[in-house]
């Protein structure tokens, strides 16, 4: 079994190595809010446990075992985020800290039962894919419309609130699953967005609406 600290390092390495490059000591220190010297210590320990390969001065890469562990931590994190938002009515911006604690509860049976309880969700409330019990996950990137970069083509693929008020609004604005769109501008003042749908003039939507809409990139 691994400690909470070891799990946090493995998770951080996983995320940082998505760029393709080796993961460097300083980047890990920044990401984990700790000092480079502490990172070096831990990297040696994790290499001894065969979770990663460590080349002095040249950074690290996860071994297959390390990657497997990372995916299981990410699975727990995202499942709990889903639970907090969809079942306990947390806002999707309030859940990260709590999920950071819950992800370290060690019980595969718990993880799998929670997964099943919620209907084997494929994406967490931020649109990130949830690995299944074998570590596989959908590659299709689903992100919240609020996070979509301007002029990036995308298509609505999920709505995170099923209230009649929301659905009524979507119907009137002709927004539905599959609708193609682009964000033209993001106004920081109120987080409202100016969006453009093909064959229609641009119009604006509120932060409250946008946060419930998820898109996949095209």
Distance separating the N- and C-terminal Cα atoms of the chain: 41
Which residues from 46-105 bind a second copy, rule CB under 8 A? 84, 87-90, 94, 97-98, 101-102, 105
Residue 43 binds which entry of a second copy, DNA, none, CB below 5-8 Å type-dependent: DNA
CB 156 within 8 A of CB 215: yes
Name the residue nearer to DNA (CB basis): 41 or 116: 41
Closest contact distance (angstroms) between CB of 27 and DNA is 7
Contact residue for DNA among 15, 35, 134, 218 (CB under 7 A): 35
Residue 110 binds which entry of DNA, a second copy, none, CB below 5-8 Å type-dependent: a second copy
Residue 56 binds which entry of a second copy, DNA, none, CB below 5-8 Å type-dependent: DNA
Phi, psi angle pair for 105, to nearest 5°? -75, 120
Which positions from 10 to 29 touch DNA by CB under 7 A, shown as an x/- string? --------------xxxx--
Q: Is 160 in the site for DNA (CB under 7 A)?
A: no
Q: Is 31 in the site for DNA (CB under 7 A)?
A: no
Please give the helix or strand (H or E) that residue 54 lies within, else none: strand 52-55
Residue 89 binds which entry of a second copy, DNA, none, CB below 5-8 Å type-dependent: a second copy
Cα–Cα distance for residue pair 99/145, rounded to 1 Å: 22
Which residues from 98-117 bind a second copy, rule CB under 8 A? 98, 101-102, 105-107, 109-110, 113-114, 117
Tokens linked to 127: 């649109």
Residue 88 binds which entry of a second copy, DNA, none, CB below 5-8 Å type-dependent: a second copy
Name the residue nearer to a second copy (CB basis): 37 or 109: 109
Residue 10 binds which entry of a second copy, DNA, none, CB below 5-8 Å type-dependent: none
Number of shown-chain residues binding DNA (CB under 7 A)? 23
Q: How far is CA 129 from CA 61, 156, 176, 178, in A?
A: 22, 16, 21, 19
CB 98 within 8 A of CB 80: yes
Q: How far is CA 116 from CA 41, 164, 192, 198, 218, in A?
A: 39, 27, 36, 39, 30
Cα–Cα distance for residue pair 10/16, rounded to 1 Å: 10
Q: How far is CA 210 from CA 10, 36, 145, in A?
A: 33, 39, 6
Q: Is 33 in the site for a second copy (CB under 8 A)?
A: no
């Amino acid at each position: 079994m691994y400690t909470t600290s070891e799990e946090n390092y493995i998770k951080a390495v996983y995320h940082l190595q998505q760029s393709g490059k080796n993961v460097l000591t300083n980047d890990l220190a920044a990401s984990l809010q700790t000092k480079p010297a502490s990172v070096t210590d831990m990297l040696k320990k994790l290499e001894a446990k065969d979770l990663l390969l460590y080349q002095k001065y040249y950074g690290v890469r996860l071994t297959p075992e390390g990657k497997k562990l990372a995916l299981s931590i990410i699975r727990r994190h995202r499942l709990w985020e889903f639970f907090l938002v969809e079942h306990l009515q947390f806002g999707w911006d309030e859940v990260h800290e709590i999920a950071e604690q819950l992800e370290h509860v060690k019980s595969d049976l718990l993880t799998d039962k929670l997964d099943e309880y919620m209907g084997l969700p494929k994406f967490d409330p931020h649109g990130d894919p949830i690995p299944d019990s074998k570590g596989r996950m959908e590659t299709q990137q689903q992100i919240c419309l609020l996070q979509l970069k301007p002029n990036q083509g995308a298509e609505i693929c999920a709505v995170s609130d099923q209230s009649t008020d929301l659905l009524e609004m979507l119907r009137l604005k002709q927004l539905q699953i599959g609708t193609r769109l682009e964000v033209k501008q993001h106004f920081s003042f109120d987080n409202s967005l100016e969006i453009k749908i093909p064959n229609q003039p641009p119009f604006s939507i509120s932060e409250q609406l946008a946060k419930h809409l998820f898109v996949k990139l095209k």
